[in-house]
Amino acid sequence: MANNERVAVVTGSAQGLGKGIAEKLGENGFKVVLSDINEEVLNETLEELKGKGYDVIAKVADVSKKADHEALIEAAVDAFGHIDAYINNAGVEGAVEQFENITEEDMDFVLDVNVKGVFYGIQAAATQLKKQGHGGTIINASSIAGHEGFDFLSTYSASKFAVRGLTQVASKEFAKDNITVNAYCPGIAATGMWDRLDEKFMEVIGTKKGEALEQYASSISLGRTQEPKDVANLVAFLASEDAGYITGQAILTDGGIVYR
């Protein structure tokens, strides 16, 4: 199937890594359904990508709600006739806090978005792909923190380890339907999420502005923080037919921080 006939849904795609992924897929000829909980920024991104000539639509969604994933699928099918790739990119960093100070609310918030959000997305996408009968791919956002736990990021690490588990289980269950399920594991990117993390580290361990990012970035073998395109290139490959024999994997794209 030519890329100009392929359709991808990308959650959390109004900004940051998700926007980079959506833009790369559009560049590669995919029709793209943008989605985010932030309607204002989502609409700005929609107009920006339309201006580049990409075939895109946008729909507001809260990924912690199963019905919102189903509505995304419905919007994609109504607009483009089918889906081929569903990218569960949306996520939150959660609390930066001493382990013993994490609250029930802290844990629930991160698990609702990062774990339930992926779980429901896999369910909705697999249901549609099975109905279509020609296979497809589901791609989930994990993290370097899904391969190694990072101090003061207990809820985030827990959620990203869970994404790896969901990815493996789903890949086994849906292989018979020719549906591949993989995860991408970004490292350190100078995005809005890391701006927020930096501020939280300042409060918890007393670092100065920018210091936490600098400390983490100093461990990157390739000597620079990643850009959205670094992640987008991997996701675009996983969404392509060239990756049809890859499933159940959680692939690191971190410039060389975590080695497995």
Structure tokens at 47: 């107009």
Instruction: Give per-residue pLDDT as tens, 80-126.
Output: 999 999 999 999 998 888 999 999 999 999 999 999 999 999 999 99
Give the strand order in the sheet containing 85-88. Answer: 56-60, 31-36, 7-10, 85-88, 136-141, 179-186, 250-253
Do 168 and 118 touch, CB atoms closer than 8 A?
Answer: no
Active site residue 156: yes
Q: Is 67 annotated as a binding residue?
A: no
Q: Is 96 annotated as a binding residue?
A: no
Question: How high does pLDDT run on average in the chain?
Answer: 94
**More reliable by pLDDT, 193 or 260:** 260
Q: Give pLDDT, residue 189.
A: 81
Percentage of the chain lying above the pLDDT 90 cut: 82
Q: Is 191 annotated as a binding residue?
A: yes
At residue 3 the predicted structure's pLDDT band, cuts being 50, 70 and 90, is low
Mean pLDDT over 193-215 rounds to 71
Q: Give pLDDT, residue 216.
A: 77
Which residues make Cβ contacts (< 8 Å) with residue 26, sequence separation at least 6? Answer: 32, 49, 52, 54, 55, 56
Q: Give pLDDT, residue 4.
A: 67
Domains and CATH numbers, the chain: 7-187+227-253 (3.40.50.720)
Q: Is 88 annotated as a binding residue?
A: no
pTM for this entry: 0.94
Mean pLDDT over 216-223 rounds to 89
Please list the residues that pair with 35 across neighbouring strands. 59
* 20: phi then psi, degrees, rounded to nearest 5: -60, -40
Q: Which of 54, 156, 184, 216 is catalytic?
A: 156
Q: Is 62 annotated as a binding residue?
A: yes
